[in-house]
Amino acid sequence: MQPASDNLIPVTILTGFLGAGKTTLLNRILTEHHGERIAVIENEFGETGIDNDILVQDKDEQIVEMNNGCLCCTVRGDLVRILMDLRKKKRGGEVKFDRVIIETTGLANPGPVAQTFFMDEDVHKNYMLDAVITVVDAKHGQQTLDDHDEARAQVGFADRLLLSKTDLVAEDETKSLMDRLRSMNPRAHQTKVNFGVTPLKDILDIRGFNLNDVLEVAPEFLTSDYHEHDDDVKSFVWKDARPLNMEKIETFLSLMIQNYGENLLRYKGVLNIKDEPKRMIFQGVHMLMGGTPGKPWEEGEARESVMVFIGKGIPKRLFEEGLTYCVA
């Protein structure tokens, strides 16, 4: 795998509730000889279990180089400052890395971390947010989702869901959890992992936060009648083959984000705009939304708008009626 760009450093956010297995996964990434040079930013730096040399240490951070060329950096201060400090050291040849993984604490909502890559101009110019990876504990996942808002938010933000400890529960329990996760976030691909073993290609260079013309939504979500849990994080998909009026859709989405943006965790869509030869791609996090033209519609291709919204307490009917009003 190669970095997305010579200029932009790809970043992966690794999240998951306490005890889900984030650190186990991270330690495998840091200790295996995979040929990737990865800088890892952690909120809490624990025992790595390997010999390493401390390159830099001060009261706020330490950068540790592992024996496979990876770096690990603790964060007790500002994320923006740490990212820019790493970029400066990379340019100066003090450290070498091709990409960054940020591990959040188990009780963290990954939203503010993701927003950093859109709100800070210096970070935006130097880094590209690739994806949010969420680890879910199959043994305790149902209870954790019942009890903790943060765990539900971590699922809602995910581009990939890694299920750990599936060997400790019956297959039907795992399936029930996977069904629940799919009802909360249909666009996140789910993978079972054992003691953090997963191919790097499954978690790196996913382009989950890139504006592109691929909108992944689990097909079974659209036909699922799974309603066992009343989660506050919910999702819905809106589809319509009729072309949309660009001015109307911009106005409507802006209004919805202004009113419900804080509760919208992730949203993304491919839009069929009237008289436009290219599909329009949009996505957002909370109050931040971006759009860009995608690839042209092919001759004879069925043009269709597909949008997915993931959030807390979203008025689905209001969104659906408003989107229908935007039909040209």
Strand order of the β-sheet with 233-240 is: 233-240, 305-312, 264-271, 278-285, 288-296
Query: What are the Cα distances from residue 320, in Å, to 239, 266, 274?
Result: 10, 17, 19
What is the predicted pLDDT for the residue at 7? Answer: 82
What distance in Å separates the CA atoms of residue 2 and residue 130, rounded to the nearest whole number? Answer: 13
Is the CATH code 3.40.50.2000 the one for domain 232-325?
A: no
CATH number of 9-202: 3.40.50.300
Each residue's pLDDT tens digit, 8-20: 999 999 999 888 8
List phi, psi (to 5°) of 253: -65, -40
What is the predicted pLDDT for the residue at 81? Answer: 84
Each residue's pLDDT tens digit, 236-292: 889 999 999 999 999 999 999 999 988 888 888 899 999 999 999 988 888 888 888
Strand order of the β-sheet with 99-103 is: 53-57, 62-65, 71-74, 38-42, 99-103, 9-16, 127-137, 160-164, 189-192
- The yes-or-no verdict on residue 24 having pLDDT over 80 is yes
What is the predicted pLDDT for the residue at 51? Answer: 35
Segment holding 86, helix H or strand E: helix 79-91
Beta-ladder partners of 234: 311
279 Ramachandran zone, left/alpha/beta (phi>0; psi -120 to 50): beta
Q: Name the residue among 1, 94, 81 with its Cα closest to residue 41.
A: 81
Domain range annotation of the chain: 9-202, 232-325
The answer to whether 156 and 311 are in contact (CB under 8 A) is yes
The answer to whether 308 and 243 are in contact (CB under 8 A) is no
Name the pTM for this structure. Answer: 0.81
* Predicted confidence band of residue 219 (pLDDT cuts 50, 70, 90): low
What is the predicted pLDDT for the residue at 36? Answer: 79
What distance in Å separates the CA atoms of residue 62 and residue 64, rounded to the nearest whole number? Answer: 6
